Amino acid sequence: MGDQKGYTENFCDAIGLLAEILEECGATIVGQTPVEGYTFEASRAQRGDKFIGLPIDQENQARKTKERVEDWVAQLKKEF
């Protein structure tokens, strides 16, 4: 969860921080979300043109949540 308007310089940084810790412990991070459609300046969850995980902004883009979750789950199903 994040607020891309209120925290534009560190939108969903927690995703990236947790991923870094988990990867240092040997975890493989799966599931990515295109950054297209989000409005932010920086995020530690961004890798290239995608986010690791699924950032959700219920405050500013609640109407997009259902489709984003469905797309992300479909992606995970393909990976496994």
- Give the CATH number of the domain where residue 63 resides: 3.40.50.360
Give the pLDDT confidence of 5-25 residue by residue, as tens digits.
Answer: 999 999 999 999 999 999 999
What is the structure's pLDDT at 76? 95
Residue 6 included in any domain: no
% of the chain beyond a pLDDT of 90:
98
Question: Does position 80 have pLDDT exceeding 90, yes or no?
Answer: no
Residue 5 included in any domain: no
Question: Does position 79 have pLDDT exceeding 90, yes or no?
Answer: no
Helices (H), the chain: 13-24, 58-79
Number of structural domains (the chain) is 1
Nearest C-alpha neighbor of 45 from the set 7, 8, 4, 10: 10
Give the pLDDT confidence of 36-73 residue by residue, as tens digits.
Answer: 999 999 999 999 999 999 999 999 999 999 999 999 99
Structure tokens at 11: 């939108």
